[in-house]
Chain A
């Protein structure tokens, strides 16, 4: 769970359990809807994300593992990053992007590499900032929600999270911003 500390789990009381466990049952709908969309996460992908989630679920009842305490052990981020081996020449060890939300005081950083697709990412964002993204559709963007996840790509354009295939997204995303719904109209909409 090396990425756990990057999500600042301790501060946000995040639990990486299966959807439907503990108090997560209310949030079931959103991830399920996203998973059913062919365009993004394939069913196999979300299956494997469940597999890792179930491993974490076992730790839920145990006391918080030491890894989740922010600031301990006192090792600087670049050292933690360098412990990961470089698998191949082209691969970077982690894709850390800053995440901000309109109205929330703290910025966070997350590693996009640890997510296998949009459902996982969105769930993590929802848990981190305690909001609901609403239902995503290609035509209408995120419906039924006050907050909309957006990102700035390499060209400096602001896009809706979910509009491009996952790999393209992780390669081009420079930072994430969870915008107030009203501001996000007109972003990446097809119509």
Chain B
């Protein structure tokens, strides 16, 4: 390739210059391809022997291809084209050759000149080589001379580093002193770094001095930290840091843990004290006089749990990280504090008198309970105490509701009493007894339901402590069902009974009879339906556990209510009976029965008695059913006797006062009594109007009988009694369950009056009837 290079060069130069300017550039591409295609192009283009411009052109193959493929016309055209191209190329080559001839010449000259120059340069190069050798020799000499110094320099640098370290060590006490005051943590870090070294080299007196000094400083620091620990009030973070540092100073952990606890204790004490400050001073003289607490219970619990419980948890956590898991000392400490906290909370809860907002209380307790969980993890003994506290608070609240219910009931009763006692404008009826009863029953039941709804907050699903076993079981049964519902029903019955039992003694203001009647009906309603309804409601809202404590069965309560109703109704009968009886007694006792004139009228008091009994009938009829009247039996012995004694008026009383036959009426009366039932005057009545009225009439007439027996009557006195008795019989029989009872008692009145009469001449029966019909 080197040999052919020069030969071809003129061609290429001629071709390059032939075109001149842009012309030279145009054929440059084909030429370049022809003379030396780049390796890249050769690699890219597949060797194509048919490409006439390609480097692998094979004329034989091309010819064969052309001959085989092309038709004649194209062959001829190609031949002509090839011929033209060859000619063009030849001319181009000639042009190039001409154009570049001068250049070839100058190139040859240049080469020749270069040959001469190179000869000159060779000599200079030799010179240079000699110089360089000399330079390297002297450099080696210099190097050898400097070696020693360099080594000493390096040594010196090492010494200097060491010295710097020593310097640092020497500075340790100073730094320690400087930082001990302000940044004990930094001092401690510094000391920690230096300590190992110092300890290692302590056999050297100077190091020992440093160490001793550091020790002294550190001891002082420890001392200061301790003083700080002992005297200052640190917040938990500072405290933890302080103790941590002291631990690093290798102070005895036993002692430290003690101090930590005492410091923590002091801290917690202040928090407790802050809480306590909110509570009024426990003053035994009168809890009622203390003002209501400034903040509500939720706020109190919030602050208590965030301040006290939070700090306690934090401190306990620190203690564990500092002193390991051994909590033998921590637990009693935390327990004691927690107990005090509970006590405080309890005192605060005790201040929640009145009803306030139960949801607030529940939320407060809930928060208390939740916040405490964290603490309880490290203080298992507190769990029961906390649960008990919550339970106690809940129970307390339930108790308070019971009292509120009682107060409410008493208030309702007061309203009823007022309504009963209120003077009514004439012609305008006040609220009827049934209305009053309905109002009373509805409001009491409504209140009870409302209370149950409030109490249910304690067992709401979103309240954490509701899942405690106590709230699931015992609370529902013991506190709510027994302590609230059953207790209230019992109390209600008891209170109602109290109206019957209490005031009879020692002249306390007696309840109005209408109230007794109302309460009797209320108790009866409770027995028949309300109690079972309330119990069902309660069991629904507070489902009882199977294994819970025994509950008071509904029937037992019903029996109590019924007994109360019975007692009240009996008392009502007694009170009303006594009122009528008193009237009758006064009328008999104050009258001069000997000096009275012949009766013309029924006495006013008898009319009054009938009026009163009619009024009682109306009153009882408002609340109680009619009841059953005994069927009339006109042919009974009793009736026969009564007919006999009242119809045979003229001869009726004669026998008893003829000495010859004193036994006749007695015999008759006694025989009649043998066949009649004994009348119990103050006996229990049934829950219906007729029975009640019968009881009242019995009491009234028996009183009349006894009073008449204590008097001495004249003839007209006897006749007056006769008239009154007949009048009573005319109007009272319809109220009684058994007409014969009225008849029998009135007969006895008449007979007794005759006994006590000085001149027993009875009035003609027709006249008696006439007077009664007229009056």
**Bound together:** no
